[in-house]
Structure 1
Amino acid sequence: MTFFHTNPSIIFLFLISLILSSHLYNVSADDSEVEDESPFAYLEDTGKGPTKWGNIDPLWKACGNGKLQSPIDLLNRRVQVFPSLGKLKGDYKPAQAVVKNRGHDISMAWKGDAGHININGTDYNLQQCHWHSPSEHTFNGSRFDLELHVVHQNPSTNKIAAIGVVYKYGRPDPLLANLFHHIKSVGKEEIDLGMMNPRAINFESKEYYRYIGSLTVPPCTEGVTWTIVKKVMTVSREQVAALRGAVHDGFESNSRPTQELGEREVRFYTEKKNVGSN
């Protein structure tokens, strides 16, 4: 019988490579956004504000030198109309969900199969949603009072598709009304919400913008397909105050400044006929 003696260091390196590859191919949309907010801030005078994000961590370089960064200003004269994009509609179903305070924002994540949205023939599974106040995306330079990001991910490519919905002060938002008590009480430990129907997020719109961008928090990963709903929804001042009051100090205003569009194309979908550049 012949015995083969293997160098222990080779075995160790092999095992490490397996662990790393497993991590790379099993990243969720929620994990791709930094969970620990302590290294970064939104206030520039802290030295950790948005203009410094790219220097804080080597993995966050895209925040400083990326060419496909988000959010952006949706300027009408830059928009190209594409009726072929089709209506924005999600195929969702109720699933177990939790709410948690990530320090820099409040997030609701689905633990089970909550359905998907189809964009350009590709299905993206619903993962989580979270809120920024004031809005991150602007319309012709105007910023709204709140913005909801609904994050989806393709299970094969790990590519992310995000839906952005903006709100102005007015009638209470039904989804936040259901979460209001939990938002005010949630701490570091997530709270089980039971079955939550994603259809409570009303973003099916006859008009929307589409462009390729990035995550709006570190590591500012690029290649995110953004869909920004044109219709402005309403939210109460009390609901926005609850979201601001729940996050850690310094994150009450958790909106990244708009980024340069560069050579990117912004497409606009509308059902209206004979529309110019909108």
Structure 2
Amino acid sequence: MLVFSDDDSKGFVRYGYSGVNGPDKWGSLSSDFSLCSQGKKQSPINIAKNITSNDPDLKPADRNYNKTRATIINNGLNIELVYEKGPGIMAVDGKNYTLEKMVWHLPAEHTLDGESFPMELQLIHKSADNNITVVAILYQYGSNDAFLLQVD
């Protein structure tokens, strides 16, 4: 996820997914984000099902979340739910990551076989050594979401 801090009337640079503020321009929108010009594996990505493969050694992520206080923030680019204290952890390959925030992107940031989605929820986790892991959920219009119904 990108968070820009300068320019614009709301205090941040607007980015987009095409045109003059598209992904290929993100590194030049702010000097704070010059690394975006150098990255090779970063958002947004198109998940191409025909070139993905199943890793039989990959274990399911073990999640243990509890209710805790959080603040909803509309920063003009997306909606964030930021926790005062981590509500729990997700273990990935034996390493613990604390859930720090949830971010909703409208429209979705990523695509699946080139298909865009109306919304994406990203659960952003951080480990004690500052590594980050993100779980992304792509939404289509339809029935209620069982996960979102648990957020109260």
Could you report, residue by residue, the CA deviation over 1:171-224 in whole angstroms, capped at 9, with x for unpaired residues? Answer: 2346667xxxxxxxxxxxxxxxxxxxxxx26xxxxxxxxxxxxxxxxxxxxxxx
Is residue 136 of structure 2 the alignment partner of residue 161 of structure 1? no
2:110 alignment partner, one of 128, 137, 149: 137
Counterpart contact for 1:40–1:53, Cα < 8 Å:
no
- Residues of 1 paired with 2:134 and 2:79: CA distance? 16
Greater per-residue helix proportion: 1
Instruction: Please tell me whether Structure 1 or Structure 2 has the larger radius of gyration of its CA atoms.
Output: 1
Could you report, residue by residue, the CA deviation over 1:98-148 in whole angstroms, capped at 9, with x for unpaired residues? Answer: 111111111101112311001121100010001112222222121222110
Aligned match of 2:142:
170
Is residue 15 of structure 2 the alignment partner of residue 41 of structure 1? yes
Percent identical pairs in the alignment equals 29
Aligned match of 1:71:
44
- What is the correspondence of 1:119-268 to structure 2 with a 5 Å cutoff? 119-155=92-128, 157-173=129-145, 200=150
Secondary structure of 2:37's partner?
A: helix
CA RMSD of aligned residues (A): 2.5
- What is the correspondence of 1:92-107 to structure 2 with a 5 Å cutoff? 92-107=65-80
Q: 1:123 to 1:158 in 2, by over 3 A?
A: same
- Residues of 2 paired with 1:160 and 1:63: CA distance? 16
- Residues of 2 paired with 1:43 and 1:123: CA distance? 32
Q: 1:109 to 1:35 in 2, by over 3 A?
A: farther
Structure ranking higher on relative contact order (CA contacts 8 Å, 6+ apart)? 1
Q: Could you list the runs of 5+ residues in structure 2 that have no partner in the other structure?
A: none
- Residues of 2 paired with 1:53 and 1:85: CA distance? 32
TM-score, normalising length from structure 2?
0.82
1:57 alignment partner, one of 26, 30, 43: 30
Counterpart contact for 2:59–2:93, Cα < 8 Å:
no
Shift of 1:97: 1.1
Q: 1:172 to 1:35 in 2, by over 3 A?
A: farther
User: How many equivalent pairs are there?
Assistant: 147
Q: Could you list the runs of 5+ residues in structure 1 that have no partner in the other structure?
A: 1-29, 178-199, 202-278
Shift of 1:78: 1.7
TM-score, normalising length from structure 1?
0.47
Aligned match of 1:109:
82
**Stretches of 4+ moved more than 4 A in 1?**
174-177
Secondary structure of 1:81's partner?
A: coil
Secondary structure of 1:112's partner?
A: coil
- Residues of 2 paired with 1:67 and 1:58: CA distance? 18
